[in-house]
Amino acid sequence: MKPTHYFSIAFIFAATTLAWWFLGGTISYRTSHVQMQNLAGVSERWGPPLQQVHPTAHYKDSDGNTTTLLPLKSEVKVMLGYEPVKMGLLWQRTYHVNLDAAYTFQNNTAITQKLDIVLQLPRGYLGKMNFTLGEGATARKSLATPRDNVLTESVELPPGQSVPVSFSYDCRGSDAWSYVFEDASRIRDFKLNVQTDFTGVNYSVSSPTRREAADGGLALEWHYEDAISAPGIAVEMPSELNAGPIASQIAFWSPLSLALFFGVVVLTSILRGIRLHPVNYLFLAAGFFAFPLLFSYLLDLVPVQAGFAIAAGVSLLLVGGYLRAAAGSFMFRVAAVAQFAYMVLFSASFFFKGLTGLTLTLGGVCTLAVLMLLTARVDWSARLGGLSPKLA
């Protein structure tokens, strides 16, 4: 191969790299643009991440000071149904929640008190809302209107007496559901049971005290018998495989795959005496470029795994078929293995967090080992001219 051919191959590689980076930037723009457009729509249709605040009760003493009471007992039951929605190249982690809670407040003073029971509601549409004070014949359903998502009801309570309070609702949210305690007060006899219809749960604040598989999902329980500064509770929805970020990463890192592939092809052609013109490398680069290009535009039509398989298959056929016709069956076999390893396996690693760097390292080390083994006894001065070490 003439020295000028190497410069031509380097130019082809540089031009393809720029094209890939432009494609990656375009995919990133499409992804971020659609995400910004969808944020308002998702929040309006499904609601933000929902947060339920532990209720409180307040009364004023003889000096006019306000005292805060927390429930003497709390039992909260939550059903989380995961309903992800795909919008553009991104999945929105939306869900449906049904909450049913029962609390008990007690007047621990020596006189009758007027308790103002305060319930903070999550922001969003609440359906089947129910807020009841008392039980049995004395039960009273609240008809109060929330102000700034705060619902307040009052009840007269004799000394030492308690009042049960229950409330429930249906709501929709996105990304995560949480239950929080606003201050470092003492939490007694608190129990929260969460039933999910999914298993890929992440706890971003505190882990459950009990976890069991149930009905295709998980049965989770948090139990605080007597705790100070009790940690809040948060259940994040499962992580989704978002096509946009994967497609852009594949495009940005494709030059590395092509560089390794070109290295194998160049060395193989030198060792086997196969003549390949820079024009051949131009078509090989185009075959490689077809993979991320086709993959990025299939994402709107088919699932991400199917789009990856189709685009990879087309690129393998283009490159392999061309090399078989241009350089014979041996070069075809070498190139097929190299392309599958450097393009398909390396790109597939982006589907799994934390594996990309390891895959790249292993691929590079294996390639180096094979090339060193195959070329250790090659007389490079005879092949390329110049000096090379001689065996003793």
261-299 pLDDT per residue, tens: 998 888 888 877 888 888 999 999 999 999 999 998 888
pLDDT of residue 178: 93
Check whether 216 has a pLDDT greater than 60.
Answer: yes
pLDDT of residue 33: 59
Residue 146 or 236, more confident: 236
Domain boundaries, position 9 = 3-32+242-377
Please, what is the average pLDDT of the chain?
84
Final residue belonging to a domain, choices 181, 201, 236: 236
Residue 95 or 353, more confident: 95
Residue 24 lies in a domain: yes
Query: Residue 112, CB half-sphere, CA atoms under 13 Å: how many?
Result: 5
pLDDT in tens, 90-109: 778 889 999 999 999 999 88
Contact indicator for 61, 74 with CB cutoff of 8 Å: no
pLDDT of residue 290: 93
pLDDT of residue 388: 46
pLDDT of residue 312: 93
Q: How confident is the model at residue 229 (pLDDT cuts 50, 70, 90)?
A: confident
Q: How confident is the model at residue 368 (pLDDT cuts 50, 70, 90)?
A: confident
Check whether 197 has a pLDDT greater than 80.
Answer: yes
pLDDT in tens, 71-92: 999 999 999 999 888 776 677 8
Domain co-membership, 148 together with 194: yes
Residue 347: C-alpha distances to residues 132, 221, 355 (Å):
56, 40, 11
185-189, 217-221, 350-354, 357-361 — which is least confidently predicted?
A: 357-361
Final residue belonging to a domain, choices 215, 236, 257: 236
Number of separate domains in the chain: 2
Domain co-membership, 315 together with 331: yes
CA distance 113 to 111: 6
CB atoms near residue 71 (< 10 Å): 24
pLDDT of residue 224: 92
- % the chain with pLDDT above 70: 86
pTM summary value: 0.68
Domain co-membership, 158 together with 118: yes
Residue 346 lies in a domain: yes
Residue 385 lies in a domain: no
Beta bridge partners of 157: 113
Q: How confident is the model at residue 392 (pLDDT cuts 50, 70, 90)?
A: very low
Residue 286 lies in a domain: yes
Residue 389 lies in a domain: no
Residue 44 or 82, more confident: 82
Look up residue 150 and give its amino acid. V
Residue 290 lies in a domain: yes
